[in-house]
Amino acid sequence: MTPHEVLKKYWGFDDFRPMQEDIIQSVLDGNDVLALLPTGGGKSVCFQVPALCLPGICIVVSPLIALMKDQVHNLTKIGVNAAAVYSGLNHRDIDRIFDNCVYGKIDFLYLSPERLSSKLAIERLKRMNVSLIAVDEAHCISQWGYDFRPSYLNIAEIKEFLPDVPLIALTATATAPVVKDIQQKLCFRKKSKVFRKSFERNNLSYVVLYDEGKHDKMLDILRKVAGAGIVYVQNRRETREVAWFLHNNGISADYYHAGRSGDIREKVQLNWIQNKVRIIVATNAFGMGIDKPDVRVVVHLTLPDCLEAYFQEAGRGGRDGLKAYAVLLFNESDRIRQEKHFNQAYPSIKDIRRVYQALGSYYQLAVGAGFGQTFDIDVIDFAKRYNFNSLETFNALKILMKEEYILLSENIFLPSTLQIIARKEELYDYLLKNNKMEKLLKVILRSFQGAFNQSVNIKEGQLASFLKIPHKKLVELLDKLHKDAIIRYTPQKDSPQLTFLTERLPKDLMKMDQKRYHFLKDRQKDRMEKSLSYAETLMCRSQMLLNYFDEKGAAACGKCDVCLGRHNNYVKEEDYSDIKNKIKENLRLNPLPLNVLVDGFSPNYKEIVLKTIQHLIDNNMMSKGEDDLLRWIDI
């Protein structure tokens, strides 16, 4: 089929969005392609359509299990055969999925980068008819990017035995160094192209409001702006508290974070998508892969630690092209909080080593054991047991992941599964000796006919209700069948998973790449400062974001808080920061009259000093008393 025929058949659209068709055609022409499309720009169609035009299978590399599951579900729903291999699946299921890919029954295979580089995956990939390699969230391959994952560097290895297969890399956020790095690290051939859609969002108004009473200000915003919205907060506790605050003030709201059970998260998400709930309060775990076009407002109660994250999250507003608002509520304490979190994000190398050794003890692994094993991980319980700070422990685990000692997955719901592993004659003998199991086994055999060949999903609640026995009793019976090697029963999981990528190493052999550690720490500090500059600058918000993503010389948007409040009379970011810091130092010593404060600067700066002072007063950083003295407000 042609790309337009595929688009019409599976998605029901007559036309592509801008740039999609050019990207698709370039892939079909055999080019390696890098596509930079902002959040909501339709990245998945750019590899799914050409893959369905080509004979064979498309290998999709993705870092998030939830995103993989979501895309597999969406493709299956429209009649496309897709599968994903990720941590938590048992070996037989993985083997079966790979076999289906080899024998042509699957159109899309989603793999994590860690799984892609395993020996089993590589051996099976060599036997597959691979027509396209798609690398999602491609910025993860670059140390210059904000979410570097070393395992992405292994993707280039599969190009060695698939040299003529085109590769498409996709990302929503990449600066110029990251764009260059992606192409180098993925070994783009000379026959390659980069497609970059402008990050400008003409329908989105960026607003930064300086306010101490963030909750009241948020309430005011949500009352003024009708329609669906997202409120991003810093942690799980805040999601619940803010949702209750909104609910108690007459605004329909619910909360979402990775710690809630899979069923509840799915229900919350669906209620919001269907407009049964107006506002969803969430951590940054929410939003990836969710396509709700009519979000009218996105409020951040806490500034993200990099502009890439902020741009992605804010960009979930107004995907339908209609007017929407991205509002950041900010005050001086946010800078203090950001700096504190940065220091916690990079524990000392000594502490990282301590966490690594404690993991081996926690899971009772001997030195030399553990390679490839996956365990549930409760970070808070682990930290408490060894008297570690829980946040620093989590960050140490993330660094161990970057060092490729472990793989830490997000919370993922894995349903209960069952497979009959006994042969039919063994089953018959077992029933003769264990007549109490007869009713349960007969129900299993009738209800799950495919269970002899593969694992099948089960719902214990429904099964217990049908058998008219308590849920607990059913689980006990299933456990016994499992122990007696009649079935393989895996209860449902809904927790993060930790996988050991190497065997447990003794203390003296556990190495850390200190050069990379310090490089990544410096890069993160730079991103944090850029993020804070966005909140504190008097430059057009849209201009600043576009400038960060290397779109130089963009016109002022005319609709952000700076443009509307300053009528395009800007103070340069560097000047503003210098003037603000000097005013802060002067006023912390003593309150001063306006003329004395202004005279402390060069006469050439008088106009922009006055603009800066007005901005600081407007945003509650300075005050002017009845005695006409200016005072700095310490928060």
Tell me the β-bridge partners of 134. 60, 168
Q: What is the mean pLDDT of residues 511-539?
A: 88
487 contacts 419 by C-beta, under 8 angstroms: yes
434 confidence band (pLDDT: 50, 70, 90) = confident
413 confidence band (pLDDT: 50, 70, 90) = low
Q: What is the mean pLDDT of residues 280-285?
A: 88
CB under 8 Å to 302, separation ≥6 — which residues?
A: 232, 233, 234, 334, 337
Task: Give the mean pLDDT of the chain.
Answer: 87
Q: What is the pLDDT of residues 343-365, one digit of tens each?
A: 888 899 999 999 999 999 999 99
| Dist CA 424 CA 426 (whole Å) | 5
Q: Looking at the predicted structure, is the pLDDT value of residue 214 above 70? A: yes
The alpha carbon torsion through 469, 472, 473, 475 (nearest 10 deg) reads 110
Q: What is the mean pLDDT of residues 560-564?
A: 83
pLDDT of residue 34: 95
261 confidence band (pLDDT: 50, 70, 90) = confident
Inter-CA distances, 602 with 537, 587, 605, 607, 611, Å: 21, 18, 5, 10, 15
| Dist CA 157 CA 113 (whole Å) | 11
H or E element in which residue 592 lies:
strand 592-593
Q: Looking at the predicted structure, is the pLDDT value of residue 240 above 80? A: yes
Q: What is the mean pLDDT of residues 420-430?
A: 85
- E-state strands within 257-334: 279-282, 295-300, 324-330
Q: What is the mean pLDDT of residues 391-398?
A: 90
* Direct distance between the N- and C-terminal alpha carbons of the chain, in angstroms, rounded to an integer: 63
- Residue with the bigger pLDDT between 569 and 470: it is 470
Cα 341–405–60 angle (5° rounding)?
A: 90
pLDDT of residue 590: 85
Q: Report residue 11: phi and psi, to 5°.
A: -115, -10
Q: Looking at the predicted structure, is the pLDDT value of residue 619 above 80? A: no
CB under 8 Å to 421, separation ≥6 — which residues?
A: 485, 486, 487, 488
DSSP label at residue 435 = G
How many C-beta atoms lie closer than 10 Å to residue 305's C-beta? Answer: 21
The pTM of this model reads 0.74
Query: 3-state class of 494 per DSSP?
Result: strand
Percent of the chain with pLDDT over 90: 38
**Which two structure tokens, joined as six digits, stand for 141?**
């391959």
What residue spans of 489-604 are helical by DSSP H? 514-536, 541-548, 561-566, 573-589, 594-599
Percent of the chain with pLDDT over 70: 96
What's the length of the chain?
A: 635
DSSP per position, 135-150: ESSGGGG-TTSSS--G
Tell me the β-bridge partners of 58. 108, 132
CB under 8 Å to 392, separation ≥6 — which residues?
A: 344, 347, 351
How many C-beta atoms lie closer than 10 Å to residue 458's C-beta? Answer: 22
| Dist CA 452 CA 491 (whole Å) | 18
pLDDT of residue 623: 85
pLDDT of residue 251: 96
pLDDT of residue 568: 40
Q: What is the pLDDT of residues 301-358, one digit of tens each?
A: 998 889 988 998 999 999 888 999 999 999 878 888 888 888 888 899 999 999 999 9
CB under 8 Å to 462, separation ≥6 — which residues?
A: none
H or E element in which residue 412 lies:
strand 412-414
Least confident of 312-326, 422-436, 602-616: 602-616
- Which residue in this structure is represented by tokens 């009959």? 420
pLDDT of residue 516: 87
Burial level of 505, CB count in 10 A (0-12/13-18/19+)?
middle
Q: Looking at the predicted structure, is the pLDDT value of residue 117 above 90? A: no
CB under 8 Å to 369, separation ≥6 — which residues?
A: 503, 504
pLDDT of residue 567: 35
**Which two structure tokens, joined as six digits, stand for 487?**
């079935």
> Crossing angle of helices 514-536/332-345, nearest 10°?
170
Q: What is the pLDDT of residues 571-586, one digit of tens each?
A: 666 677 788 888 888 8
Q: What is the mean pLDDT of residues 436-441?
A: 85
Q: Burial code of 507-544, b = ≥16 C-beta within 10 A, e = fewer?
A: eeebebeeeebeebeebbbebbebbbbbbbbbbbbbbb
503 contacts 372 by C-beta, under 8 angstroms: no
